[in-house]
Amino acid sequence: MSLRSIFPLLHTLALSGLGLVFAPAHAQQPAWPQQTIRVVVPQAPGGGTDALARLIAERLQPLVGQAVVVENKVGAGGNIGTEFVARAKPDGHTLLLTTNTHVTNVSFFAKLPYDPVKDFQTVALVGSVPFVLGVNAASPYKSVKDLIDAARAKPGVLSYASGGPGTPHQLASELFKSMTGTDFIHVPYRGSSPAMVGLLGNEVAMSISAINSMIPHIRSGKIRALAVATANRTPLLPDVPTIAEAVPLPGYDIDIWYGILAPAGTPKAIVDRLGHEINKIMREASVREKLAPQGLVPTTSTPERFAEVIQSDLVKYRRIAKDANIVAE
């Protein structure tokens, strides 16, 4: 074989060798995390979502070896913080801790600055809080049936309190109206705490609100819990029936869920690592003990399961809003 014929062969082998050398380096993902991880909360400091985010951030930090901080980006019904994460670099350093409002906002805003599905990667569900149907302790309603009978006798007279338009509280009450054929008047307040003040002041007949807002007043004897809005009873109120069994009203089931999302395009390896560590946190006995008095039930899930919940709730809440003649603005 002449030298001239050997040279092309050597050239080809050299290029192949370079490919073998460089291919693994090119495919290798950069180490994560490389900087501080931000957990964005689209609600004000001091609330239940904020407290949960700080609890997770505190325990996530030693597991990933980087600082994990909570940032509150408030406004526009949660849309400001949510859009911020949707536009963030998908590198696992910016996360969103959100609630059902992530899907309910679709029914209340005609044009969202993000797509709740396409612009996000689900990481994990982390908890849920049951709703409770409560009335003022001085009211004449001793059962859900009493309340329904009164509402049917006086259509458009009795009212319910919510934490404001577009909240899960409103949709929980509208679902109750639709399924029972009643006509309660919606009285929106500026948050769940003012809604409780309205119920305590007998300004409204009832409210279907998160148990953590109601439980102090139930225990003090100022609010009477008629039923739990979830499919199963809660250990915090073991003697209180569900709405589904009290009426009975098969299929009535609504709560607040909490979940962590990342920007769409976040590498699967990072999502899987995040999900693994976050699920580990939510299984801790100390976390469960800390959250139990607030009525928050820690949850674990795969990214796929969380995506299924979002898709299911989009359909569910759109139907409730349509039945209630709620028009997005």
pLDDT, mean over the chain: 90
CATH (domain of 51): 3.40.190.150
Tell me, yes or no, whether 139 and 240 share the same domain.
Answer: yes
- The span from the CA of 50 to the CA of 307, in Å, is 22
Residue 3 has pLDDT above 90, yes or no: no
Query: What's the pLDDT tens digit per position in 51-107?
Result: 999 999 999 999 999 999 999 999 988 999 999 999 999 999 999 999 999 999 998
Instruction: State how far the alpha carbon of 131 is from the alpha carbons of 9, 15, 126, in Å.
Output: 74, 65, 17
End-to-end CA distance of the chain: 80
Asked if residues 162 and 186 have their Cβ atoms less than 8 Å apart, the reply is: yes
pLDDT in tens, 149-166: 999 999 999 999 998 888
CATH of the domain at 172: 3.40.190.10
8 Å CB contact between 264 and 120: yes
Can you give the pLDDT at residue 29?
61
Return the pLDDT at 233.
Answer: 94
Residue entry with tokens 């980087």: 66
Q: Among 13-27, 52-66, 195-209, 312-326, which stretch is predicted with the lowest mean pLDDT?
A: 13-27
pLDDT confidence of residue 152: 97
Distance CA 319, CA 58 (A): 38
Q: Which residue has the tokens 């003040």?
A: 197
| 58 or 43, which is more confident | 58
What phi and psi, each to the nearest 5 degrees, are found at residue 242?
A: -80, 160
| Contact (Cβ atoms closer than 8 angstroms) between residue 247 and residue 182 | no
What integer pLDDT is reported at residue 74 of this predicted model? 92
Query: Is residue 51 in a domain?
Result: yes
Structure pTM? 0.85
Residue 172 sits in which domain range?
130-246
